[in-house]
């Protein structure tokens, strides 16, 4: 028996590369070496398992363990190539929409773009490395150490930053829902950019510690820092948002779609005025006549007395109820996609490190590949969840794609939706509030009535 096929539990164990880390179910993200585990008595490989991994191919293209890898490579390369293209295309479209459209430059979308950049890193660097490994078993830890290390570090940076940006989006939405007025005052675009820088510094720090790894502690560290630490924050934020949306929907149902907003028409068709506060940006709000307003930072609150009929109130409440229920469903999709894409990968990695004999080797190899694909696919799913479910992003995508197909020059554009801001003026008690800005920015209009806040999209 040659040295190449000596039992792996022997004394002179070679430093196996990334293929063997994948065989343990770890994938290139952590790449814990087999010798580290052997030295601790955690693995007992059989010679048959070694031959499955290392046996050369025969003239017919088959190994002693089974068929050639070419069939598996052909099957795996097609969907993986499609996944790479879809990931790059979707996230570039997100960044282009944010850059070209002034409507989309709000605080929340800063985090969405940061998420898109992290996913672009996955699509441009991490997935192609994985693709070349499946085809040519490259890079190898020993022969291509520089590329191997670059792959590992960038994989950790992109994965960690992607998760942390998901957390930032959830926290941003949490404060926007629970403290709508303080949110606008405290979380500015400048602070959002500072938070994004901190998230990327955190991700780079986690990846940089890969150089210092000894043994298996780094696997547990990355799993904790990149998944188990942000997971409770993500779950808590979305749970609270879901609770607020659900509570508001139930309350509006119980109050018959706006009992607190107005007194409906009587039998003669008369209406009763009700107080409301319209929250809008100063440049996007104008009034004529008497105005009672107070300013806070960038926002002005105009007190008006709109006249609401029963039909308009009912329609408005139905729209709000529909929006809340849709938001709740979207949150369920967000959490479901995140857990479905990342949980199997993290769990399989921890099992491979802590109990490598719990799963047969060949089964572990297949699980490792499937879980790696699954967590990479999260970078392709994120643009769908966070943008295509948003009307403004959809409108921006249509406009960008139409310009691309028609060959027109790309330029900045403003309002995406003709109904994104109120178009008609409201008259009452000598106060007239006219159209909220024709400038190139979206105006969020919040109506505060009886201490309830309703966001009109």
Long-range CB contact pairs, 41-47, < 8 A, 24+: 42/356, 42/357, 43/8, 43/9, 43/356, 43/357, 44/9, 44/357, 45/7, 45/8, 45/9, 45/361, 46/7, 47/5, 47/7, 47/8
Give the integer Cα–Cα distance in Å for 335 and 381: 12
Q: Are 301 and 278 in contact (CB under 8 A)?
A: yes
Q: Contact 454/447 with Cβ under 8 angstroms?
A: yes
Sign of the CA dihedral with 386 first, then 392, 394, and 398 last:
negative
Q: How far apart (Å, rounded) are the C-alpha atoms in residues 180 and 184?
A: 7
Residues of the chain with pLDDT under 50: 1-67, 258, 260-268, 271-309, 418-457
SS3 of residue 288 by DSSP? strand
Model pLDDT, residue 343? 92
Per-residue pLDDT, 157 = 94
pTM of the model: 0.67
Give the integer Cα–Cα distance in Å for 320 and 310: 15
Q: Which helix or strand (DSSP H or E) is residue 456 part of?
A: strand 452-456
Structure tokens at 318: 């139905």
Task: Provide the 8-state DSSP code for 179.
Answer: -
Spacing of C-alpha 421 from chain mean position: 27
pLDDT of residue 205: 94
Chain center to CA of 99? 19
List pLDDT tens digits, range 226-271.
Answer: 999 999 999 999 888 888 877 777 776 666 554 544 444 444 455 4
- Cα gap 79→72, rounded to integer Å: 12
Structure tokens at 129: 């490395």
Cα separation, 426 vs 435, whole angstroms = 9
| CA–CA–CA angle 285, 287, 288 (5° rounding) | 160
| Per-residue pLDDT, 120 | 95
Q: How far is CA 24 from CA 66, 221, 425, in A?
A: 20, 18, 66
pLDDT for position 414: 58
């Amino acid at each position: 028996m040659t040295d190449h096929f000596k039992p792996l539990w022997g004394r002179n164990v070679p430093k196996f590369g990334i293929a063997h880390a994948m065989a343990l179910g770890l994938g290139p993200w952590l790449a814990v070496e087999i010798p580290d585990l052997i030295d601790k008595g955690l693995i007992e490989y059989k010679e048959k398992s070694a031959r499955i991994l290392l046996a050369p191919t025969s003239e017919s293209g088959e190994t002693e363990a089974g068929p050639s890898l070419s069939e598996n490579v052909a099957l795996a390369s097609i969907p993986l190539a499609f996944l790479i293209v879809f990931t790059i295309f979707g996230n570039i479209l997100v960044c282009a929409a944010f850059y070209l459209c002034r409507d989309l430059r709000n605080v929340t979308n800063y985090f969405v773009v940061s998420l898109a950049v992290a996913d672009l890193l996955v699509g441009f660097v991490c997935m192609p490395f994985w693709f070349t490994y499946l085809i040519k078993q490259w890079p190898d830890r020993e022969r291509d150490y520089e590329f191997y290390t670059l792959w590992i570090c960038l994989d950790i940076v992109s994965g960690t930053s992607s998760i942390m940006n998901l957390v930032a989006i959830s926290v941003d939405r949490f404060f926007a829902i629970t403290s709508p007025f303080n949110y606008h005052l405290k979380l500015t675009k400048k602070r959002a950019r500072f938070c994004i820088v901190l998230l990327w510094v955190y991700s780079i720090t986690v990846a940089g510690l890969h150089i210092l790894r000894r043994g298996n502690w780094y696997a547990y560290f990355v799993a904790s820092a990149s998944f188990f630490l942000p997971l409770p924050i993500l779950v808590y934020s979305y749970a609270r948002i879901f609770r607020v949306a659900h509570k508001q929907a139930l309350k509006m149902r119980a109050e018959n779609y706006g009992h607190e907003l107005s007194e409906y028409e009587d039998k003669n068709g008369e209406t009763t005025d009700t107080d409301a506060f319209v929250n809008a940006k100063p440049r996007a709000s104008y009034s004529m006549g008497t105005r009672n307003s107070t300013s806070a930072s960038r926002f002005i609150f105009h007190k008006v007395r709109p006249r609401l009929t029963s039909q308009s109130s009912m329609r408005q409440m139905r729209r709000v109820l529909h929006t809340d229920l849709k938001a709740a469903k979207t949150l369920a999709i967000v959490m479901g996609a995140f857990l479905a894409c990342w949980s199997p990968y993290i769990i399989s990695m921890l099992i491979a490190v802590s109990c490598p004999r719990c799963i047969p080797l060949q089964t572990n190899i297949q699980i490792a590949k499937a879980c790696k694909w699954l967590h990479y696919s999260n970078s392709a799913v994120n643009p769908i969840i966070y943008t295509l479910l948003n009307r403004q992003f959809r409108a921006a995508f249509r406009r960008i794609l139409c310009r691309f197909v028609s060959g027109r020059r790309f330029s900045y554009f403003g309002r995406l939706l003709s109904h994104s801001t109120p178009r008609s003026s409201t008259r009452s008690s000598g106060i007239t509030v006219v159209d909220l800005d024709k400038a190139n920015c979206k105006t969020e209009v919040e109506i505060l009535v009886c201490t309830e806040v309703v966001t009109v999209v």
